[in-house]
Chains A and B, each alone.
Chain A
Amino acid sequence: MTDRFSRADVARVARLARLELNAEEQDLFARQLAGILAYAEQIQRVPTEGIEPTSHAGDAAMLRDDEVRPSLPREASLAAAPDGDTAAGLFKVPRVLG
């Protein structure tokens, strides 16, 4: 059971999650996630044919009228950006096209 979650598996999933992990973290998580999944597998023994999945526990979503309301001013939205350009009204990121 414990070899079912390899370091390569962790690296593959980390890539899907856009999350950089160092070698030590990859080793640690491979070991720990194998343990967590081994523990979690008990749910697979529960017969669930025909059971509706629960995605949330509340009532149906409350709907409101679709009308224009004031939103945050642009400067406030940009204030916390690591590289915001308030004058131009832009969030700047590294070059996308080479």
Chain B
Amino acid sequence: MDTPSGVRDIRDAVVAGRMSAVDICRQTLDRIATLNPPLNAFRGVAPERALARAAELDAQRDRSPLPLFGVPVAIKDNICTRGLATTASSRMLDGYVPPYDATVVERLEAAGAVIVGKTNCDEFAMGSSTENSAFGPTRNPWALDRIPGGSSGGSAAAVAARMVPMALGSDTGGSIRQPAALCGVVGFKPSYGRVSRYGLIAFASSLDQIGPIATTVADAALVMNVLAGADPRDSTASAAPVPDFAHALDEPRDGLRGVRIGVPRHLFSDGVEDAVLSAFEAALAVTRDRGAEVVDVALPYSPQAIPVYYIVATAEASSNLARYDGVRYGHRAGQAHTPAEMYERSRGEGFGREVKRRIILGTYVLSAGYYDAYYRQAQQVRTLIREDYDKALAGVDVIAMPTSPTAAFKLGERTDDPVQMYLSDVFTVGANLAGLPAVTVPCGFTGSRLPIGLQLTGRAMDDATVLRIADDYERATPWSNERPPRPAASASR
């Protein structure tokens, strides 16, 4: 059991020659073969490709400069991988093999990472439970009758079960942070523009960001060093200089002395589970012990964040998903006599319920007669929400909130009530609407041992400060070391 399990540990072990990349890869594939069946975290595993890549790395002489040398990673199935099926967990893209790599995939491989497979998610990243996958739900490693969160539920479950030390997720309204919190791991949504979105299957382009899910903040920071930066193929990827996120964590400092943390307590009135609130308060107490000053802040327009989000995100989705027309890729219905009939039936057959619901809602709020009342009004309230965050963050370094109002809920519990499901995102959508960096870090458990996450949101393009404060908190607490129970071989379903 002395096998290294974190990103840095594995990388250092391979670079030092204590283990080969192939050994690490084999162990990873074995763990996936054992642990994945009850969880369904993976949509697809690519053992030959991974082992070939690992062997290639082992044959390399000069390996020290590569920051992820030999590290096995998983990629959410809405991020394109050349030659490896990418479906966004939709029937629409069943069997689709992209002819190109997403920029983040290129960067990971260039840094020495070994891609072992694609992880399950809500269809087209639309959902908060991974129950909207066309290929069956993922289950939470801490309790198999519960959801792992979503939409990056497969990535979070794969990391929580230690199948891989890092998996990429995408976050449009909380889809990295909420599942990471519900699975007891670290999830980071970078500032909008910090990481290229080229090759991410688009959901809502003004909100989508790719980011890492890992077991520690330090590992997430290490991966951010690889992911961040400008990209000529994504005009929204910022050319701002990329700091050394990992190194920033190691700079000597006196705990959290001088750090100001803002808490918008007025948002915690209803719907927040008691165990979540008490874990959150205990986390704040730790930051105070570390020297931080904790003050109240107000985000007066934040109660509007969920409706604003669901109008903006569905409007953008209805436009982005127009490309699935059965012509260039994806599902095509048989026996259509006209192009229009082909479009309508291909889309009717290829998309699942939640995707259809959002296309209808998004088309409606953009349609003549409703545009001003819904879409334009939502964009204006979005401005007010951004200004809220700007004002609050002028006086504090980060804003602290629970990541999710509840711990993991049971499969099927919220599938019939879309509004109830949407409320899972109440604390996470603000960072997307305002384009801010936000991290979730484990901060405790409920009475029935379900993980709880602490969310820290920072100033735009100040990702390093968010990671630094989360890292200090994490090192002062035991939570990131906790692992889910390993299911007995016969106990699954």
Query: Which residues on A are within 8 Å of B, measured CB to CB?
Result: 9-10, 13-14, 16-22, 25, 28-29, 32-33, 35-37, 39-44, 46, 48, 51-59, 61-64, 72, 76-77, 79-83, 91, 93-96
Of B238, B325, B351, B379, the residue contacting A54 (CB under 8 A) is B379
Task: Give me the 3 closest cross-chain CB pairs, A-B, nearest first.
Answer: A57-B435, A20-B348, A53-B379
B329 is an interface residue with CB less than 8 A from chain A: yes
Of A32, A48, A61, A82, the residue contacting B384 (CB under 8 A) is A48
Of A19, A22, A64, A82, the residue contacting B351 (CB under 8 A) is A19
Indicate if the CB atoms of B379 and A55 lie closer than 8 Å. yes
Bound Cα distance from A91 to B339, whole angstroms: 12
Residue of B98, B382, B432 with highest tally of chain A CB at under 10 A: B382
Interface size class of B (residues with CB under 8 A): 35 or more
Min C-beta distance of A18 to chain B, whole Å: 4
Residue of A nearest to B332 (CB): A82
Bound Cα distance from A77 to B329, whole angstroms: 9
Indicate if the CB atoms of A56 and B236 lie closer than 8 Å. yes
B347 is an interface residue with CB less than 8 A from chain A: yes
Indicate if the CB atoms of B383 and A52 lie closer than 8 Å. yes
Indicate if the CB atoms of B418 and A35 lie closer than 8 Å. yes
B70-120: which residues lie under 8 A (CB-CB) from chain A? 96-100
Of A25, A42, A58, A79, the residue contacting B236 (CB under 8 A) is A58
Indicate if the CB atoms of B330 and A82 lie closer than 8 Å. yes
B434 is an interface residue with CB less than 8 A from chain A: yes
Q: Which of B33-41, B127-135, B352-360 has 4 or more CB atoms under 8 Å from chain A?
A: B352-360
Residue of B nearest to A82 (CB): B332
Indicate if the CB atoms of B326 and A54 lie closer than 8 Å. no
Contact residues in A for B338 (Cβ distance below 8 Å):
94-96
Bound Cα distance from A20 to B378, whole angstroms: 28
* CB-CB under 8 A for A20 and B360, given A81-B328, A91-B327: no
Indicate if the CB atoms of A19 and B230 lie closer than 8 Å. no
Contact residues in A for B341 (Cβ distance below 8 Å):
94
Residue of B nearest to A48 (CB): B380
Indicate if the CB atoms of B384 and A62 lie closer than 8 Å. no
Bound Cα distance from A64 to B233, whole angstroms: 9
Indicate if the CB atoms of B311 and A13 lie closer than 8 Å. no
Of A18, A53, A91, the residue contacting B383 (CB under 8 A) is A53
Contact residues in A for B360 (Cβ distance below 8 Å):
10, 13-14, 17, 19, 21, 29, 33
Contact residues in A for B377 (Cβ distance below 8 Å):
43-44, 46, 48
Indicate if the CB atoms of A51 and B383 lie closer than 8 Å. yes
Indicate if the CB atoms of B329 and A80 lie closer than 8 Å. yes
Contact residues in B for A64 (Cβ distance below 8 Å):
232, 235
Min C-beta distance of B431 to chain A, whole Å: 9
B379-394: which residues lie under 8 A (CB-CB) from chain A? 379-384, 386
Indicate if the CB atoms of B356 and A25 lie closer than 8 Å. yes
Contact mask for chain B residues 332-352; partner A; CB cutoff 8 A; 1 contact, 0 none: 100011111111110111010
Residue of B nearest to A39 (CB): B419
Bound Cα distance from A78 to B344, whole angstroms: 22
Bound Cα distance from A48 to B332, whole angstroms: 44
Min C-beta distance of A59 to chain B, whole Å: 6
Query: Which residues on B are within 8 Å of A, measured CB to CB?
Result: 96-100, 192-193, 205-207, 230, 232, 235-240, 301, 303-304, 307-308, 310-311, 318, 322, 325-332, 336-345, 347-349, 351, 353, 356-357, 359-361, 363-364, 367, 373-374, 376-384, 386, 418-419, 422, 432-435, 460
Min C-beta distance of A96 to chain B, whole Å: 6
Contact residues in A for B311 (Cβ distance below 8 Å):
40, 43
* CB-CB under 8 A for A93 and B327, given A19-B351, A36-B361: yes
Contact residues in B for A62 (Cβ distance below 8 Å):
230, 235-239
Bound Cα distance from A76 to B330, whole angstroms: 15
Min C-beta distance of B119 to chain A, whole Å: 21
Indicate if the CB atoms of B99 and A57 lie closer than 8 Å. no
Indicate if the CB atoms of A19 and B357 lie closer than 8 Å. no
Residue of B nearest to A57 (CB): B435
Contact residues in A for B361 (Cβ distance below 8 Å):
33, 36-37
Residue of A20, A54, A72, A94 with highest tally of chain B CB at under 10 A: A54
Indicate if the CB atoms of A61 and B235 lie closer than 8 Å. yes
Indicate if the CB atoms of B373 and A32 lie closer than 8 Å. no
* CB-CB under 8 A for A46 and B418, given A13-B367, A18-B347, A33-B364: no
Contact residues in A for B357 (Cβ distance below 8 Å):
29, 32-33
Bound Cα distance from A29 to B364, whole angstroms: 12
Indicate if the CB atoms of B359 and A17 lie closer than 8 Å. yes
Min C-beta distance of B493 to chain A, whole Å: 29
Residue of A nearest to B329 (CB): A80
Contact residues in B for A58 (Cβ distance below 8 Å):
192-193, 236, 238, 435
Contact residues in A for B342 (Cβ distance below 8 Å):
93-94
Contact residues in B for A63 (Cβ distance below 8 Å):
235
Of A32, A42, A44, A94, the residue contacting B336 (CB under 8 A) is A94
Indicate if the CB atoms of A54 and B193 lie closer than 8 Å. no
* 21 CB-based A-B contacts, threshold 8 Å: A13-B364, A22-B348, A29-B356, A33-B361, A36-B419, A40-B307, A43-B311, A43-B378, A46-B377, A48-B380, A51-B380, A53-B379, A54-B379, A54-B382, A62-B235, A62-B236, A62-B237, A64-B232, A80-B97, A80-B99, A91-B328
Min C-beta distance of A50 to chain B, whole Å: 9
Bound Cα distance from A3 to B356, whole angstroms: 20
Bound Cα distance from A28 to B415, whole angstroms: 13
